Amino acid sequence: MRSIVILTGAGISAESGLGTFRDKDGLWTKYDLEEVATPQGFAANPRLVHDFYNARRANAAGASPNAAHEALARLEAEFPGEVLIVTQNVDSLHERAGSRAILHMHGALDRARCARCDHRWEAPLVMRPEDPCPACSQPATRPDIVWFGEFPFYMEEIDTALSQADLFVAIGTSGQVYPAAAFVQEARMAGAATLELNLEPSETARAFDEARHGPASRVVPEWVDSLLG
């Protein structure tokens, strides 16, 4: 086996204290997705959207990587082939655990972007609608986050990696958001073995060759240990 592609979702950060979206008490039970995670919501009320992401940025800054993030960093360091993490998460817990090859397909909380000129920079802890873009001075700054109705980032790189993967692993994701939910099919069609590691069977569980269910802080280190021998 030479190439492993790992898709992660909110479930891998749950035990670091960051809420998931669709579980009981998840973020989408407390907030209206249309209001805080769409371009239309941002146009209607940018302050509400900034406040939502400011709160999430503060939570993420106070969180630490857990044993699952750490196991994936160890896998990248010790596996003789390629390990790529494709994450739907906007926190930086994979980086802070020591992983290097990471694609943030839904963007990142610690990045800001100008909706006018597309300039990107490091996000301050608190963003406000009136903040000027450092490049063009327009008050058009937004979180560098992919909202519903927008195209995820790095799709070409992800498709290439999936087409060359020998093993595809999905960790802590409900399999309800596309295109990420279709990666398992894409990897299978390209000949990869597929494995789900999740608290419970996801929406797409049946599409995987194998599944191991339990908290990420247990099942991910166990899987990494078994792979590295």
Edge-first strand order for the sheet with 107-114 is 120-122, 107-114, 141-145
Which residue reads 């909202």 in tokens? Answer: 147
Interface residues for ligand OAD in 165-224 (CB under 6 A)?
172-174, 176-177, 198-200, 202, 215-216
Residue 137 Cβ, how far from ligand OAD at the closest point, in Å?
A: 28
- Among residues 76, 1, 20, the alpha carbon closest in space to that of 200 is found at 20
Instruction: Tell me whether residue 21 or residue 84 sits nearer to ligand OAD (CB atom).
Output: 21
Give yes or no for residue 14 binding ligand OAD (CB under 6 A): yes
Give yes or no for residue 72 binding ligand OAD (CB under 6 A): no
CA–CA separation, 23 vs 176, rounded Å?
12
Number of amino acids touching ligand OAD (CB under 6 A): 27
Instruction: Tell me whether residue 9 or residue 46 sits nearer to ligand OAD (CB atom).
Output: 9
Residue 77 Cβ, how far from ligand OAD at the closest point, in Å?
A: 22
What type of residue sits at position 48?
Answer: L
Residue 143 Cβ, how far from ligand OAD at the closest point, in Å?
A: 10
Which one of the listed residues 94, 106, 119, 213 is annotated catalytic?
106
Choices 56-64, 75-83, 129-137, 140-148 (CB under 6 A): range interacting with ligand OAD:
140-148
Give yes or no for residue 129 binding ligand OAD (CB under 6 A): no
Residue 136 Cβ, how far from ligand OAD at the closest point, in Å?
A: 26
Choices 13-21, 73-81, 134-142, 204-212 (CB under 6 A): range interacting with ligand OAD:
13-21
CA atoms within 13 Å, Cβ hemisphere of 29:
8
Residue pair 172/12 in contact (Cβ under 8 Å)? The answer is yes
Q: Is 106 a catalytic residue?
A: yes
Residue 102 Cβ, how far from ligand OAD at the closest point, in Å?
A: 14
User: Largest Cα–Cα distance of the chain, in whole Å?
Assistant: 54
Which residue among 85, 97, 123, 146 contacts ligand OAD (CB under 6 A)? 146
- Among residues 201, 198, 159, the alpha carbon closest in space to that of 182 is found at 159
Q: Which residues are at the interface with ligand OAD (CB under 6 A)?
A: 9-11, 14-15, 20-23, 26, 37, 88, 106, 146-148, 172-174, 176-177, 198-200, 202, 215-216
Instruction: Give the residue numbers marked as catalytic.
Output: 106
